[in-house]
Structure 1
Amino acid sequence: MASMNDKDYYAILGVEKDASTEDIRKAFQQKARKLHPDVNKAPDAEEKFKEVSEAYAVLSDPEKRSRYDAMRAGSPFAGATGSAGSPYAGGYGGGDPFGWGFPFGSNGYTRRTSTRGRSRSYNPRVGADVVFDLTLDAATAEKGVSRGVTYQRYAACEVCHGKGSVQAEHSETCPTCHGTGRISADLSGIFGFGVMDIKCPECEGTGRVVADPCEACGGSGRVLTASEVVFNVPAGSHDGDLVRVKGMGNAGTNGSAAGDFVCRVVVPEERLNPYQASGFRVLGFDLPFLVFGALSNSLAGLLVFILVIAAVGVAFIVRGGGLKTNSRWWRNALASLGNGAANGLLIALLMVSMFSCTAAGPGVRYYGYIW
């Protein structure tokens, strides 16, 4: 989510930077009339409506607008409401850990942004895992293998040691929302919307901001970097097995714990493709009807239905490449067969129940009342 520092609220509303409060109100009114979810059914209409509402909530309030203008201009007094001598600063760094290619792309650098006069939300979150698919043939997976991988991830900032701030020991109350994490815009005079409650765009809803953000990481406590990891895939591994390296995933924000590097073993010989999996599920679905027909002496009446369903299942399997000899592949095939049989059993039991009620006739329903 882009912070308040990164959004041009004037451009969002389509007004000049010296626009009056009335101009801002009219601009929002025009935008809201077009984007309100009750009127505009476009998929992104609600998101755009929230964005223009956020812009209006900031620019229509003189105090919030003054602070926003100061931060956008890089004023050293933007954080004057905080602790003396500790103006807020902020920025951002990094992006998608795999966004520059694997292991590196043409833009292999860590993004750094001047943080003078800007603030950064204090939002401690545990880092996400980095998942890597390793494709092996069945023989290699059976013997086991050691592999090394170079990849990009968020690592703890070495300058601030992951805290997000070099000097300050603790986060500070957000000056925009005063620690509530929400800001309100009074829209009662515009279409009768009433008061709209919006997540604070400066602290991103946490109510806290990083005082004196680190220049290297922009206050998040982590930077995008290249890492290397060596891991062992144990002997006897199979498709879908996971090898986990603790703490080598993305670092958490503001000193939170890091995620793991997770290697997911892929063995094509053991994996059913979608056509094969569907084929076995269809065959499994067919089995309860075959059993039901045999037990109820109605197999002849169900034979056409059973044969058609079986033919569809076989056609899917053939289209997927046919059968394989790998034992793990057959285990997966039987699992798909079982899933299909469970679904077919529910339908078959429903049919048995309906058949029993029909065969009993209305006289049985009145039997208990005759006596």
Structure 2
Amino acid sequence: MASMNDKDYYAILGVEHDADDAAIRKAFQKLARKYHPDINKEPGAEEKFKEISEAYAVLSDPDKRRRYDAMQSGNPFAGASYGSPSQPQGDPFGGMGGFWGWPFGAAGAGRQAGSRRSRAYNPKAGGDVVYQLDIDDKQAKEGVRRGITYQRYVACDVCHGAGSVHADHARTCPTCGGSGHISVDLASLLGLGVMNMVCPECEGSGRVVVDPCEACGGTGRVLSASEVVVDIPAGSHDGDTVRVPGMGNAGTNGSSTGDFVCRVGVPSERLQPQAAQGFQMIGFAMPFIVLGVLLDVLAQLTVIIAIPLLVGIVLVGRGGGVLHHAGTWWRNAWRYFVNGFMNAATIAVFMALMVSCMSGFGTAGYRGGFY
């Protein structure tokens, strides 16, 4: 979700920056009546209602509004005491022109005011980077080494992955008090009770970065080009994977890094989509053939058997033929065949039970006529 820095709550409510509490309340009441989901059924009305409720929850609270105004002006420390008691509020790095300007003075502050930063402290492990590498039959048989250049998130060099340059630890979010949610009381305004929503400053984590890094925006990671050497072992097959630990995406706010996963592709071993679907349909027909033979109802199941069988054969033929492929290709084909067989087997067993039950009822009814 968009952070508090990215939203203009005054514009959302349509009020001036110096609007008093009465004006803010009146603007919210007007918009809330217009966009409340119970009244407005148009697409996007519910999201709009949540947005204006979020804006009102911040601007109607003096402390939250003061903090929001300070953050919008480029100084998130105004009105909050994050440093030690001996540090003056509003400029914990006194004498340096404020953090957002340091060390470049007013020019740095002006540049930062327009940047997109998130103060949310939300450590999450980095995801794996999955890369598809196709090789030929010879390389798959003998093995091959490949150098790969790719894009991934790496730990920020400026803040060393923490997301904060000068502060060692995250702090409890002052907007929500660490709960991760904020509440807006609509009872006195619309008679609708209390509405809870995710805190826009910490984005639900309950903690915030004190001084978001300029380079990474407070996440602790940046997008960068990386290189990795992957050794594909001899005897590899289509679908095998080679994992390189620690070469995936860096986690946010100093969390663990994922792996680089190279997915091996051997086109000669890979079934074309049409052929794969064809083998599945052929497999689908097989249980009904067995059922028809065992229960002597093959003629009645002709349509169920013939359609998937014929369509499957046609698709296999269009998918590259079957004569020039090696054993691995056939093993893959067998897996698709078995998949189709198992899908149809349940239906075939159910039909067999139904036939048996109906036969039993018919016999009982016939015998009952003599008694």
Residue 343 of structure 1 aligns to a residue whose secondary structure is: helix
Given that residues 248 and 257 in structure 2 are in contact (C-alpha distance below 8 angstroms), is that contact kept between their aligned partners in structure 1?
Answer: yes
TM-score with structure 1 setting the length: 0.83
Q: Which residue of 1 aligns with 2:17?
A: 17
Q: Which residue of 2 aligns with 1:350?
A: 350
- Number of aligned residue pairs: 345
> Per-residue deviation at 1:357?
1.0
Q: Which residue of 1 aligns with 2:235?
A: 236
> Per-residue deviation at 1:34?
5.1
List structure 1 runs of 4+ shifted beyond 6 angstroms. 87-90
1:307 aligned onto 2:298 = no
Q: Distance in 1 between matches of 2:25 and 2:364?
A: 74
> Runs of 5+ in structure 1 lacking a partner?
91-111
Q: Distance in 2 between matches of 1:333 and 1:42?
A: 50
Given that residues 246 and 258 in structure 2 are in contact (C-alpha distance below 8 angstroms), is that contact kept between their aligned partners in structure 1?
Answer: yes
Q: Distance in 1 between matches of 2:294 and 2:301?
A: 12
**Closer, same or farther in 2 for the Cα pair 1:366/1:173, shift >3 Å?**
farther
Partner amino acid for 2:279? F
Given that residues 81 and 175 in structure 1 are in contact (C-alpha distance below 8 angstroms), is that contact kept between their aligned partners in structure 2?
Answer: no
> Per-residue deviation at 1:272?
2.4
**Closer, same or farther in 2 for the Cα pair 1:343/1:58, shift >3 Å?**
same
Q: Distance in 2 between matches of 1:34 and 1:136?
A: 60
**Closer, same or farther in 2 for the Cα pair 1:304/1:251, shift >3 Å?**
closer
How do 1:243-258 residues align onto structure 2 when only pairs under 5 Å count?
Answer: 243-258=242-257
**Closer, same or farther in 2 for the Cα pair 1:336/1:65, shift >3 Å?**
same
> Per-residue deviation at 1:76?
6.2
Q: Which residue of 2 aligns with 1:187?
A: 186
Given that residues 282 and 312 in structure 1 are in contact (C-alpha distance below 8 angstroms), is that contact kept between their aligned partners in structure 2?
Answer: yes
Residue 121 of structure 1 aligns to a residue whose secondary structure is: coil
Q: Distance in 2 between matches of 1:239 and 1:136?
A: 9
Given that residues 181 and 207 in structure 1 are in contact (C-alpha distance below 8 angstroms), is that contact kept between their aligned partners in structure 2?
Answer: yes
Larger Rg: 2
Given that residues 115 and 218 in structure 1 are in contact (C-alpha distance below 8 angstroms), is that contact kept between their aligned partners in structure 2?
Answer: no
**Closer, same or farther in 2 for the Cα pair 1:169/1:300, shift >3 Å?**
same
Q: Which residue of 2 aligns with 1:5?
A: 5
Partner amino acid for 1:81? S
> Per-residue deviation at 1:184?
0.6
* 1:90-131 CA-partner distances (Å, limit 9, x unpaired): 9xxxxxxxxxxxxxxxxxxxxx95699x87122111111111
Residue 198 of structure 1 aligns to a residue whose secondary structure is: strand
**Closer, same or farther in 2 for the Cα pair 1:39/1:231, shift >3 Å?**
farther
**Closer, same or farther in 2 for the Cα pair 1:68/1:76, shift >3 Å?**
closer
Q: Distance in 2 between matches of 1:45 and 1:142?
A: 59
Q: Which residue of 2 aligns with 1:176?
A: 175
Given that residues 268 and 325 in structure 2 are in contact (C-alpha distance below 8 angstroms), is that contact kept between their aligned partners in structure 1?
Answer: no
Residue 187 of structure 2 aligns to a residue whose secondary structure is: coil
How do 1:1-371 residues align onto structure 2 when only pairs under 5 Å count?
Answer: 1-33=1-33, 35-38=35-38, 44-75=44-75, 77-78=77-78, 80-84=80-84, 85=87, 86=92, 113=112, 120-323=119-322, 325-361=325-361, 364=364
**Closer, same or farther in 2 for the Cα pair 1:113/1:246, shift >3 Å?**
farther
**Closer, same or farther in 2 for the Cα pair 1:336/1:190, shift >3 Å?**
farther
Given that residues 141 and 236 in structure 2 are in contact (C-alpha distance below 8 angstroms), is that contact kept between their aligned partners in structure 1?
Answer: yes
Residue 300 of structure 2 aligns to a residue whose secondary structure is: helix
> Runs of 5+ in structure 2 lacking a partner?
101-110
Residue 80 of structure 2 aligns to a residue whose secondary structure is: coil
Q: Which residue of 2 aligns with 1:97?
A: none
Partner amino acid for 1:247? G
**Closer, same or farther in 2 for the Cα pair 1:257/1:282, shift >3 Å?**
same
**Alpha carbon RMSD of aligned pairs, Å?**
2.9
Percent identical: 61
Partner amino acid for 1:232? D
TM-score with structure 2 setting the length: 0.83
* 1:71-103 CA-partner distances (Å, limit 9, x unpaired): 10123642523224448979xxxxxxxxxxxxx
Q: Distance in 2 between matches of 1:348 and 1:202?
A: 57
Partner amino acid for 1:354? M
> Per-residue deviation at 1:35?
4.3
Q: Distance in 2 between matches of 1:179 and 1:301?
A: 68
Q: Which moved more, 1:28-37 or 1:331-340?
A: 28-37
Given that residues 119 and 211 in structure 1 are in contact (C-alpha distance below 8 angstroms), is that contact kept between their aligned partners in structure 2?
Answer: no
Partner amino acid for 1:133? Q
Residue 219 of structure 2 aligns to a residue whose secondary structure is: coil
Q: Distance in 2 between matches of 1:37 and 1:366?
A: 63
* 1:116-155 CA-partner distances (Å, limit 9, x unpaired): 9x87122111111111111222332222221112222221
Q: Distance in 2 between matches of 1:195 and 1:210?
A: 28
**Closer, same or farther in 2 for the Cα pair 1:43/1:128, shift >3 Å?**
farther
> Per-residue deviation at 1:290?
0.3
**Closer, same or farther in 2 for the Cα pair 1:155/1:199, shift >3 Å?**
same
Residue 120 of structure 1 aligns to a residue whose secondary structure is: coil
Q: Distance in 1 between matches of 2:153 and 2:34?
A: 40
Q: Distance in 2 between matches of 1:39 and 1:290?
A: 59
Residue 301 of structure 1 aligns to a residue whose secondary structure is: coil
> Per-residue deviation at 1:39?
5.2
